Amino acid sequence: MGQHADRFRSRLDRHKSAKSRKGQPREKKATDKRERYYHCYDEPDYVRITIDINFIRNIVECAMAQNRTVSMRKFLYDRGLKIYYRTIKRGSGYLYLKNIRQFCKIFNIDLNELEQKGIILNPRLHPVDMHSKEFIKLKSHVLNEGRIAFLKQSVGILNYSNQDPVLLRYFTDIVKKLRGNITGPYLATHALAINAIPALARALDASGLSSGRKTKTNPSLDLLLKEGSELFKYHIRATLTEEGWCSLSIQHHSARFEIAWGRSVDITDKLSRDQIEELRGITKELGKRKIPIKSVKDPEIRKIIGQNPPRSFDQEVALLIHVHKEKQLHEGFPTRVHLSKEDRITAFWEIHFTRPDLVDLIHDEYGMLPSTWKARRLERLYETYVKYRGRRLTDEEIQEVRKVKEENPPKITAEWISKKMQELFPDVEWGGDLERIRRLLGRKESE
């Protein structure tokens, strides 16, 4: 345990000192006090902004009076601002941020003034406080089940998907507290999905949670997720709900409980061509793309996998070890390797809690997000576990445990999805359509 604790303490120190880490300038932005906020002027030039036209008109008319100019059209056209002439005449409309920058430069207007005086009418979320509790919570959810992607010239998509409508409600409420809006929910392939305002995608990207596949970008935890903090507890709770699982089983007539979570990381670029070919050969031999780690015999490949855990996972475990050092928590470990259709190699890492005192610790200190399907299942299985643990079970008690497990399956049911959609998103027209939900989520009628 000693050498593992030292290794994770070293990684914890690197998490705390990430501001000085080279090659990750984006993470510095969210932790630098001078750049705590994501402003409207941090947005790309092509972004559309709706502003108060009266403010623009007043600025133009004051400048015209100073120049003793009568024709607004000539005044603005001479300065390359013909788009403003048309916008003022319409009385409303959007402008591209590059046009607003140009206007502010010509008339010597501080861009901060637009935010401070409420001149920006849409979107109204700027400045985004990247240190706020809501933003850090959003970051945790997006790290787990979200997607940040490029749209045209820059980051412009923020998507969250899960099969539990309760989790989509958590995401929606956080976005709204950040003064953002959402589109959806809608039924995607094998999941429910929801989109948030693109500006939040760009703010997340600026904070260090880069766009693209997280297995490849391998993001770090936010530096504000300090050990023992309420935000850290929320992060672990959300991660257990979105990336974790629990199980109740019978072994040698005794009740056994397990809580776990895991993450994946792309290690393709760490491997040689020969090593990739070796892994490809193992997948062909076993007839499946996901292979258990024990089937990888090459010590060099095993070493590379062991030295490259998912960064956020590694930091989560390090923080837990640091917070609960009296419990002597063990480290996470790789369990399987996946060869994608694009020939990318990812390693999946997990951490399991099975010791009774650790099961109690994770349940009592963290648990899962309340009201979700997984939280409901966790509580029912854990209650049964506590009732029967520590002794040999009778055949009748074993049957009772099996009954509880059958009544609380891990897979969320279409009925639950429909019920919660109608409760939490009553305006969604397909919420009560069980057949449609089953079809798009690939469920049988009994599921």
Statement to judge: residues 146 and 94 lie in one domain? no
* Residue with the two structure tokens 């076993």: 286
Peptide bond into 123 cis (omega under 30): yes
Dihedral angle sign, alpha carbons of residues 14, 20, 24, 26: positive
Backbone angles phi, psi at 47, to 5 degrees: -65, 135
Buried-state track 73-82, b at ≥16 Cβ within 10 A, e below 16: eebbeeeebe
Say how many CA atoms lie within 13 Å of 260 toward its Cβ.
19
Q: Which of 155, 186, 219 is the last residue of a domain?
A: 219
Whether residue 427 is contained in a domain is answered as no
Statement to judge: residues 164 and 197 lie in one domain? yes
Alpha helix segments (H runs only) across 190-310: 198-206, 214-217, 230-243, 273-286, 299-307
Report the length, in residues, of the chain: 447
Q: Which of 219, 247, 263 is the last residue of a domain?
A: 219
DSSP string for 68-105: T---HHHHHHHTT-HHHHHHHHHT--EEEHHHHHHHHH
Statement to judge: residues 194 and 265 lie in one domain? no
The tokens describing 447, both together, are 């599921």
DSSP-assigned beta bridge partners for residue 352: 260
DSSP-assigned beta bridge partners for residue 346: 266, 338
Statement to judge: residues 201 and 243 lie in one domain? no
Peptide bond into 127 cis (omega under 30): yes
* Residue with the two structure tokens 């891990």: 410
Statement to judge: residues 162 and 187 lie in one domain? yes
Statement to judge: residues 367 and 252 lie in one domain? yes
CA 132 – CA 135 distance, rounded (Å): 5
Q: Which of 80, 101, 122 is the last residue of a domain?
A: 122
Residue 198 structural domain: 25-37+128-219
Whether residue 265 is contained in a domain is answered as yes
Domain count, the chain: 3
Name residue 350's amino acid: E
Q: Please give the chain's pLDDT, 447 residues, in tens.
A: 444 444 444 555 554 444 433 333 334 344 455 479 999 999 999 899 998 999 999 999 999 999 998 999 999 999 999 999 999 988 887 899 999 999 999 999 998 888 888 899 888 899 999 999 999 999 999 999 999 998 766 678 999 999 999 999 999 999 999 999 999 999 988 899 999 999 999 999 999 998 889 999 999 999 999 877 899 999 999 999 999 999 999 999 999 999 999 999 999 999 999 999 999 999 999 999 999 999 999 999 999 999 999 999 999 999 999 999 999 888 999 999 999 999 899 999 999 999 999 999 999 999 999 999 999 999 999 999 999 999 999 999 999 999 999 999 999 999 999 999 999 999 999 999 999 999 888 877 666
- Name the helix (H) or strand (E) containing 180: none
Cβ–Cβ < 8 Å for 134, 177: yes
What's the CATH code of the domain at 367?
A: 3.10.28
CB atoms within 10 A of CB 145: 22
Name residue 327's amino acid: K
Whether residue 137 is contained in a domain is answered as yes
Whether residue 417 is contained in a domain is answered as no
* Residue with the two structure tokens 């892994």: 279
Whether residue 44 is contained in a domain is answered as yes
Statement to judge: residues 406 and 369 lie in one domain? yes
Tell me the C-alpha to C-alpha distance, in Å, between residue 282 and each of 99, 290, 399: 57, 10, 40
Whether residue 446 is contained in a domain is answered as no
Statement to judge: residues 253 and 377 lie in one domain? yes
Model confidence, pTM: 0.88
Statement to judge: residues 387 and 326 lie in one domain? yes
Whether residue 261 is contained in a domain is answered as yes
What's the CATH code of the domain at 195?
A: 3.10.28.10
Statement to judge: residues 252 and 400 lie in one domain? yes
Cβ–Cβ < 8 Å for 160, 169: no
Statement to judge: residues 275 and 372 lie in one domain? yes
Q: Which contacts of 304-310 are long-range, i.e. CB under 8 A and separated by 24 or more positions? A: 304/267, 304/270, 304/271, 304/275, 305/267, 305/334, 305/337, 305/347, 306/334, 308/265, 308/267, 308/270, 308/347, 309/265, 309/334, 309/347, 309/349, 310/215, 310/218, 310/263, 310/264, 310/265, 310/349
Backbone angles phi, psi at 397, to 5 degrees: -70, -35
pLDDT at 22: 33
Whether residue 444 is contained in a domain is answered as no
Question: 334 burial class (0-12, 13-18, 19+ CB within 10 angstroms)?
Answer: buried
pLDDT at 10: 55
Statement to judge: residues 140 and 48 lie in one domain? no
Cβ–Cβ < 8 Å for 256, 393: no
